[in-house]
């Protein structure tokens, strides 16, 4: 007998998801808001990107290029890659979820690091998988911990390098050691969203691993150093085997025309990138010096944000957040990452950074 009062039931795992929440805070009526919670660049987008989308209003009745051909060609030219191994996406988040949809089924396991990006766990659970958490050491990925958690059920390993929200990285040797310790049927996802900010000589963004192996996929984004966050454009590099899979399940027009045009121009905005890096390096040094002088500990960073800890002060991150918000400054609370007594501080403009540092000095000394 048909039961017309029975409600639809979501697939297993979905109701275990805590919906992703962007950075925010309880703001008062401050005249100006400094939003330093989402790792956005303070420099806007390159002029080349803004110019590239200026005339699109005349053609918004047309569908975008389905394969993002021009954007893939631009990325391939920039990095000397095979365009056939590139998949473009609606932000790199889409790729992270497509990978889970392609390779994780009910009961499969996927490994994430202790402080890995929250989207990994969401993608795994949404496909009925089991997230397996590998402990980190000093907020840095521990390759041995990941390998120790591999089982016959492991299908995917998600690795953010550099990490978010930690800002730390593992070097090329450790990345290669991780890959060598995985079975060939396990997909290693190297999420290099902050690759442009990591200037260390021993850093590997994942391209070499993709070139040499069938089971590695590197993901990247235009949302950070290129300032195209509002357009949501990401890309991946992987073997043609993986690319064939992702192209079968992605949306046919998943990257809008503005994102394709802006990305194709931004990828060559070298002067803009250099300026952004110089600003980031300068302020990372200043912030570290001034905050450590206040007893606020800083996790070493290789990104455009800093993890600042209040454990050695007589204050808490929650109190600091309330104080900063009362003055129009929003940093990222990290309870969702189980780092309750720290804030993630996106390096902002000169004006924003000076304000944050002066406010924290007053807060700590009050």
Q: Which of 231, 266, 301 is the last residue of a domain?
A: 266
Residue 240 lies in a domain: yes
User: How far is Cα 220 from Cα 54, in angstroms, rounded to an integer?
Assistant: 25
Per-10-residue mean pLDDT for the chain, 366 residues long? 70 73 61 92 97 90 96 98 98 97 97 97 96 98 98 98 98 98 98 98 97 98 98 97 97 96 98 98 98 97 98 96 96 96 98 98 94
Q: DSSP string covering 44-91, please? A: ---HHHHHHTTTGGGGTTSPPPTT-HHHHHHHHHHHT--GGGEEEESH
- The helix (H) or strand (E) run that includes residue 351 is helix 350-365
Q: Give me the number of domains the chain comprises.
A: 2
Residue 6 lies in a domain: no
* Shared domain check, 185 and 67: yes
* Shared domain check, 189 and 71: yes
How many Cα atoms are found within 13 Å in the side-chain-facing hemisphere of 253? 7
* pLDDT value, residue 32: 86
* pLDDT value, residue 20: 65
Instruction: Decide if 190 contacts 211 (C-beta within 8 A).
Output: no
* Shared domain check, 212 and 321: no
* pLDDT value, residue 10: 73
* Shared domain check, 119 and 28: no
* Shared domain check, 320 and 205: no
Residue 201 lies in a domain: yes
* pLDDT value, residue 319: 97
* Shared domain check, 93 and 23: no
* pLDDT value, residue 29: 60
Q: Which of 266, 292, 318 is the last residue of a domain?
A: 266
Q: Which residues contact 317 (CB under 8 A, 6 or more apart)?
A: 309, 310, 333, 334, 340, 341, 342, 343
308 is in which domain, residue-wise?
14-45+270-365
What's the CATH code of the domain at 334? 3.90.1150.10
* pLDDT value, residue 244: 97
* pLDDT value, residue 346: 98
Q: Which residues contact 237 (CB under 8 A, 6 or more apart)?
A: 81, 85, 86, 206, 207, 210, 217, 218, 220
Q: Is the peptide bond before 162 cis (omega within 30 degrees of 0)?
A: yes
What's the CATH code of the domain at 105? 3.40.640.10
- Cα 55 to chain centroid distance, Å, stands at 30
User: How far is Cα 249 from Cα 102, in angstroms, rounded to an integer?
Assistant: 8
Q: Which of 266, 281, 316 is the last residue of a domain?
A: 266
User: How far is Cα 255 from Cα 283, in angstroms, rounded to an integer?
Assistant: 34
Residue 7 lies in a domain: no
Residue 37 lies in a domain: yes
Residue 288 lies in a domain: yes
* pLDDT value, residue 113: 98
* Shared domain check, 244 and 127: yes
* pLDDT value, residue 6: 75
* Shared domain check, 250 and 294: no
Please give the sequence-ordered ranges of beta strands (E in DSSP) within the chain, or none if there are none.
Answer: 34-35, 86-89, 109-113, 130-134, 136-137, 140-141, 154-160, 187-191, 216-221, 234-238, 297-299, 305-309, 329-330, 332-333, 342-346
Residue 314 lies in a domain: yes
């Amino acid at each position: 007998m048909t039961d017309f009062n029975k409600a639809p039931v979501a697939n297993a795992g979905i109701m275990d998801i805590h919906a992703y929440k962007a950075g925010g805070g309880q703001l008062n009526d401050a005249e100006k808001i400094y939003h330093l919670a989402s790792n956005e660049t303070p420099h806007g987008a390159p002029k080349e990107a803004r110019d590239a989308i200026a005339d699109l209003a005349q053609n918004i009745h047309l569908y975008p290029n389905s394969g993002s051909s021009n954007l893939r060609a631009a990325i391939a030219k920039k990095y000397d890659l095979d365009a056939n191994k590139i998949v473009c996406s609606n932000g790199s988040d889409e790729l992270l979820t497509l990978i889970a949809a392609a390779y994780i089924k009910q009961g499969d396991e996927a490994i994430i690091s202790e402080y890995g990006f929250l989207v990994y766990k969401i993608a795994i659970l949404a496909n009925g998988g089991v997230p397996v958490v590998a402990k980190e050491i000093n907020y840095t990925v521990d390759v041995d911990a990941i390998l120790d958690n591999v089982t016959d059920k492991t299908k995917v390993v998600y690795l953010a390098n550099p990490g978010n929200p930690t800002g730390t990285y593992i070097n090329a040797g450790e990345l290669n050691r991780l890959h060598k310790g995985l079975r060939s049927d396990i997909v290693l996802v190297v999420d290099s969203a902050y690759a442009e900010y990591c200037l260390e000589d021993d850093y590997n963004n994942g391209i070499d691993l993709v070139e040499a192996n069938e089971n590695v996929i590197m993901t990247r984004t235009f949302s950070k150093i290129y300032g195209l966050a509002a357009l949501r454009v990401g890309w991946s590099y992987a073997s043609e085997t993986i690319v064939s899979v992702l192209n079968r399940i992605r949306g046919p027009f998943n990257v809008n025309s503005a994102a394709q045009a802006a990305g194709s121009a931004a990828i060559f905005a070298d002067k803009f990138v250099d300026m952004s890096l110089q600003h980031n390096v300068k302020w990372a040094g200043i912030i570290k010096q001034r905050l450590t002088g206040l007893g606020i500990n800083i996790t070493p960073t290789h990104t455009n944000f800093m993890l600042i800890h209040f454990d050695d002060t007589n204050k808490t991150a929650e109190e600091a957040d309330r104080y900063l918000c009362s003055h129009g400054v929003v940093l990222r609370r990290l309870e969702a990452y189980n780092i309750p007594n720290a804030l993630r501080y996106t390096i902002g403009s000169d004006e924003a950074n000076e304000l944050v540092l002066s406010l924290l000095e007053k807060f700590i000394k009050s």
